[in-house]
Chains A and B, each alone.
Chain A
Amino acid sequence: MHFLKSLASFSQKTIKLKSNDDVQIYIATDYNFPKMVSKDWMDTEEYLSVLKVIIPKTERKTNVVQAKQNLPYRIYKRTFPKGDIEFELYFPHKKPFVNFVIFYKLDEIAGGVKESCGGEEIQISLPTSDAF
């Protein structure tokens, strides 16, 4: 799965995208702030973590970092039909920017099933049928 890596201090209230198929967009926002998406977004009740880390200069060569804070990001999802996509973000009071993680995948119902069996296969056997 891919995600759209944003700025740490994203300050645009409107996000515009385009998709070539029906798509499920997921947006994860800091659980410690008020909900930043409209009621059209379904709360998945799932979380991911964003670790705030400190990278000491002496440890840069070893890729070892120490997490200083674990921020729970609650995940919301919404299905959009293919074409132009536009939605709003609600900024927390007195905060001029938002942190969020946005990712997406093919819509499970509209796109994921209609074009492909998804690798599922079963054997059928109707030896008495004239179509066998």
Chain B
Amino acid sequence: MYYHSSHNAYVKKSNPYMTLRWMSNLFLPGVIPEENLFFNNIPTPLQVTGYYKDSFILALMQDQAQAFFDSKNFILNDIPKNY
């Protein structure tokens, strides 16, 4: 039977430390270099700017949204789910 066990508790004596190591078929086992660590997991939000403000406005892409900002007579629909 396979099971996974995680142990996070430790007794703080002297100067305990832990190392995070990795290996693959491309390189030998070693401590993961600091430049390969993520210090957060928050990608920078995508921002598209620079458009002519009198030609475009930013809007949420969803069914029933008004397709063009100067006309209420066109509505978006059937937007593929992968978008």
Interface residues of A (CB under 8 A from B): 1-10, 12, 15-21, 23, 26, 46-55, 65, 67, 70, 75, 84-85, 99, 101-106, 111-112, 115-117, 123, 125, 130-131
The answer to whether A106 and B46 have CB atoms under 8 Å apart is: yes
Would B74 and A3 count as touching, CB distance under 8 A?
Answer: no
Give the size of the chain B interface in residues (CB under 8 angstroms): 44
- CB-based contact B76/A101 at 8 Å: yes
A-B contact count (CB 8 A): 139
Say what secondary structure dominates the interface of chain B.
loop
Interface of A is mostly: strand
Q: How far is it, in angstroms, between the C-alpha of A75 and the C-alpha of B57 when the chains are bound?
A: 20
Q: Inside 8 A of A106's CB, which chain B residues have their CB?
A: 43, 46
With both chains docked as a complex, state the minimum distance between the C-beta of A10 and any C-beta of chain B, in angstroms.
Answer: 7
Question: B residues within 8 Å of A by Cβ?
Answer: 4-5, 19-23, 29, 41-44, 46-52, 55-61, 65-80, 82-83
Are A65 and B66 CB-contacts (below 8 A) given A6-B55, A19-B46, A117-B41?
A: no
15 inter-chain pairs at a CB distance below 8 angstroms, sorted by A residue, are A2-B60, A3-B59, A5-B56, A5-B67, A16-B52, A17-B49, A46-B80, A47-B80, A51-B74, A52-B74, A53-B73, A53-B75, A115-B43, A116-B43, A131-B29
Contact A12 B43 (CB under 8 A): no
